[in-house]
Amino acid sequence: MTLQQVNEKWMSFKREQSLICDLQIEEILSDAPKGVEASFDLQELMTGRVVLHVSDQLDLCRKDYVDFVLYHEFTHLYDFYSCPYTQGRQEDFFGYMNSFSEFHASRLSLAEILRADISCRTFIGSPAGSGPGLPMAIMDRSGLLPQPDRTGSIRQLLNHCYGRAKNGFEKFQELSIPQIFQFCFKQVMYIFGYVSLFESADVMARQVCRELRLTEEHYMKLYRALLVSETDDVLSATKSIYEEAYVPFVKAFAGKDGSSEEEGADYWEMIGGDSGDWNWGGRSRANVGVKQKFKGFRSGRNNAPVKSVEDLKREIGLKE
């Protein structure tokens, strides 16, 4: 897979999504984290560099699977340059991208793959997935969804994300490590994005919340805001979810040095760029163990000055 081939696919994506900008992917590096097929580094993007980090095994995967991975990553790039939170607190920007973009990328990448199947096309509709919704019968159809070296079903994809989320949430309860929660939250956003294409999406989203023992009120508020792209509601619900999750973490460490937890502590700040691996993970090849997955987080690949998103938009000629 050459840089020219990737940029041709990116140009096709931009036409489909009516994204008007001169942005090109500058480089492809075969250094994606273990278990990740492809990713853009958010901190790197904020310095103005557009580098796609891929697995050294990606070229060995099926072509339709590679397209699935790239479509997911292209959506992240689109969202980065379209994010409404380009001013103000960096935590709001990261929080929005960690919720909306993961939902959006999962929804669009699955819709794109299913649109190739004539029996699914009517239910999917436009590139935004505006059709009437997929019937549940499609959930278990084999051969519908590409995997690295074979095909599978949508249920297998959902079960994979669910398993990672369930195991991760259990580890988070045990260890209270914020990065574990961030990983689990991302899996829930994947699931929400995938199930949003089904006619019984609301019921399925509620079931996910109950099976994972999530606060249904907060997560369903977020899910509904994601569906209609209500940006302020997305951010508000995401903030509530993170604060609820991190309160026990902060309390666990409060008072160890003789001090007490500050009243009104801003747990939302813990979502900042230094608190987790902001590589946007592509489709994972294997269920990486939690302890292995959460080792060695990076906050960025270089020390170049971070530019504002508004400056970046102007540099690449992005039109509002």
In contact, 222 and 206? CB cutoff 8 Å: no
Q: What is the pLDDT of residues 68-107, one digit of tens each?
A: 999 999 999 999 888 888 676 788 888 888 999 999 999 9
Residue 131 Cα distances to 63, 68, 125, 128, angstroms? 26, 20, 4, 9
| Structure-model confidence comparison of residues 195 and 128, the more confident one | 195
Return the pLDDT at 179: 86
Instruction: Give the mean pLDDT of 160-181.
Output: 91
Q: Is 151 exposed, middle or buried (0-12, 13-18, 19+ CB in 10 A)?
A: middle
The full set of domain ranges for the chain reads 3-316
Q: Tens of pLDDT along 27-74?
A: 999 999 888 899 998 888 888 899 999 999 999 999 999 999 999 999
Between 158-162, 174-178, 276-280, the lowest mean confidence (pLDDT) is in: 276-280
Q: How far from 113 is each of 8, 67, 260, 314, CA to CA, in Å?
A: 18, 8, 52, 33
Q: Which residue has the higher pLDDT, 286 or 251?
A: 251
Residue 159 pLDDT: 94
Cα Dmax for the chain: 65
pLDDT over 90 at 213, yes or no: yes
Q: What is the pTM of this model?
A: 0.79
Q: pLDDT value at position 117?
A: 81
Q: What is the pLDDT of residue 224?
A: 96
Of 94-103, 182-191, 230-239, 243-252, the range with the lowest mean pLDDT is 243-252
Question: Which tens digit of pLDDT belongs to each residue from 138-170?
Answer: 999 988 888 888 889 999 999 999 999 999 999
Weakest mean pLDDT among 11-15, 116-120, 121-125, 265-269? 265-269
Which amino acid does the sequence have at 243?
Answer: E
Long-range contacts formed by 284-289: CB under 8 A, 24+ apart: 284/35, 284/36, 284/37, 284/160, 284/164, 285/35, 285/37, 285/55, 285/57, 285/148, 286/35, 287/160, 287/163, 287/164, 288/34, 288/35
Region 192-219: mean pLDDT is 95
Task: Output the average pLDDT for the chain.
Answer: 79
Q: Please enumerate in sequence order all residues whose Cβ is within 8 A of that of 139, keeping only pairs 6 or more positions apart, or say none.
A: 153, 154, 155, 158, 198
